[in-house]
Amino acid sequence: MRLALFEPDIPQNAGALIRLCACLNVTLDIVEPCGFLFTDRHLKRAGMDYLEQAEIVRYATWNAFQDACKKLERRLVLLTSKASLPYTDFAFAQGDTILLGRESAGVPDFVHEAANARLRIPLRKGLRSINVAQAGAMALGEALRQTDGFPA
């Protein structure tokens, strides 16, 4: 199981997800460009001392990331407010990569089209979305539960 961020633009959310991945022993893929530097103090504050414990793989472009997913035969599962299928109704597999979009803009159409599955978090009517780090934690938790992937 992997978690991936598409061109993240809020360092605090990236830091929180790095910490989450370190604690759950999940690799975090980051598709650049990022809207911040990896030396950003907000990233370091949110990630705390977990930054060095996390396995982070950075990709310079979407194409490089997509090529790596294909080579490793990983299914790309996009979490998006535009999907109709709730993440709780989806059967996750151990080789899945859960992809999260930019906080400010989600992902472009070509990313939607490349995803093997598109999932949403059911929300109260009239509300658009929740924080990307919280959304990632919810979906990753369900995926790890289904695949018995939590650390021992």
pLDDT at residue 143 above 70? yes
pLDDT at residue 102 above 70? yes
Is residue 151 situated within a structural domain?
A: no
Q: How far apart are CA 133 and CA 88, in angstroms?
A: 17
The stretches of 97-131 forming alpha helices (DSSP H) are: 109-114
Beta strand 2-6 pairing with 76-79: unpaired
In this structure, the dihedral spanned by the alpha carbons of residues 13, 16, 18 and 23, taken in order and rounded to 10 degrees, is -160
Q: What is the CATH number of the domain that holds 120?
A: 3.40.1280.10
Burial class (CB in 10 A: 0-12, 13-18, 19+), 111: buried
Is residue 41 situated within a structural domain?
A: yes
pLDDT reported for residue 46: 64
Q: Any residues with CB less than 8 A from the CB of 47 and at least 6 apart, and which?
A: 14, 15, 16, 18, 19, 54
Is residue 152 situated within a structural domain?
A: no
pLDDT reported for residue 36: 75
Is residue 84 situated within a structural domain?
A: yes
pLDDT reported for residue 53: 87
Is residue 18 situated within a structural domain?
A: yes
Q: How many domains does the chain have?
A: 1
Q: In which domain, by residue range, is 11 found? A: 2-146
| Mean pLDDT for the stretch of residues 88-117 | 96
Task: Pick the most confident of 46-50, 70-74, 144-148.
Answer: 144-148
